[in-house]
């Protein structure tokens, strides 16, 4: 069964600190992996998208890594800000050509940044 | 101002009533999607559409119906047959249904509560 597992479920850090969120997946065939940020009560917003051949991608203070061999990804947040408080969702796209590339969503990691 | 709009933001319904959630996009995207989000779970696909007058069931379509009469609009009806309709509903769109990197853009969501 195609699954995406994220850890930890929740995390509290102090403003200015770094943190790393983890994502393990068993989706096959694989097309790409995305990280979304979702503020409470809002829709998810894309942070990064990585295909099979990419092993790192940055978006400002957010850096995602992908190890397609071990089927693991991480999202590293540098110098956290209060506005980083949100849920971070790992999403893996199945690779079916000519049809619908189904997205498999993780349950998310809820990050709280405290002053 | 391009994007996806959903209305209403909050919706209350009595048991046994049908209710329709609105989703509109002005991104000129062909594909549109409806997801349901429950606490502690990943997003689950209800219905998707790749073109006007065509739509397909997702993983949890029972108790829901959709229409796609215009490219810009993809309303979702939650019927009385849906046993547990209280949830956060997200609409999304993408340029096309499939592709290596087919980013989905999400609306702000509608929170439905059944009283």
| CA distance linking residue A104 with residue B90, whole number of Å | 15
Residue A43 has its nearest CB partner, among B41, B50, B109, at B109
Please give the angle made by the CA atoms of A58, A35 and B97, to the nearest 5 degrees: 115
The strand order across the sheet containing B19-25 reads: B4-7, B19-25, B76-78, B64-66
Rg (CA), chain A: 14
pLDDT digits (tens, 9 = 90+) for A44-88: 999 999 988 899 999 999 999 999 999 999 999 999 999 999 999
**A101 and B CB contact within 8 Å:** yes
CA atoms within 13 A on the CB side of B112: 28
**A52 and B CB contact within 8 Å:** no
CA atoms within 13 A on the CB side of A16: 1
Interface probe, candidates B4, B91, B100, chain A, greatest A C-beta count within 10 A = B100
pLDDT of residue B99: 63
pLDDT of residue B43: 95
Does A42 sit within 8 Å of B42, measured CB to CB? no
């Amino acid at each position: 069964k195609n699954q995406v597992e994220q850890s930890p479920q929740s995390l509290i850090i102090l403003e200015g600190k770094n943190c790393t969120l983890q994502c393990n997946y068993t989706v096959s065939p694989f097309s790409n992996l995305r990280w979304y940020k979702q503020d409470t009560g809002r829709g998810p917003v894309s942070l990064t998208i990585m295909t099979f051949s990419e092993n790192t991608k940055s978006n400002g203070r957010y850096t995602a890594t992908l190890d397609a061999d071990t089927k693991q990804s991480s999202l590293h947040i540098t110098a956290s800000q209060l506005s980083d408080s949100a849920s971070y969702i790992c999403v893996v796209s199945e690779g079916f050509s000519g049809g619908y590339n189904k997205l498999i969503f993780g349950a998310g990691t809820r990050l709280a940044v405290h002053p | 101002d391009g994007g996806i709009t959903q209305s209403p933001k909050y919706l209350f319904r009595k048991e046994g009533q049908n209710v329709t959630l609105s989703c509109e996009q002005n991104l000129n995207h062909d594909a549109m999607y409806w997801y349901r989000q429950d606490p502690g779970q990943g997003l689950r696909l209800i219905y998707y559409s790749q073109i006007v007058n065509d739509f397909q069931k997702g993983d949890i379509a029972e108790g829901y119906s959709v229409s796609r009469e215009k490219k810009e609009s993809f309303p979702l009806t939650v019927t009385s047959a849906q046993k547990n309709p209280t949830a956060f509903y997200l609409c999304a769109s993408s340029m096309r249904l499939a592709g290596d990197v087919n980013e989905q853009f999400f609306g702000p969501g509608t929170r439905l509560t059944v009283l």
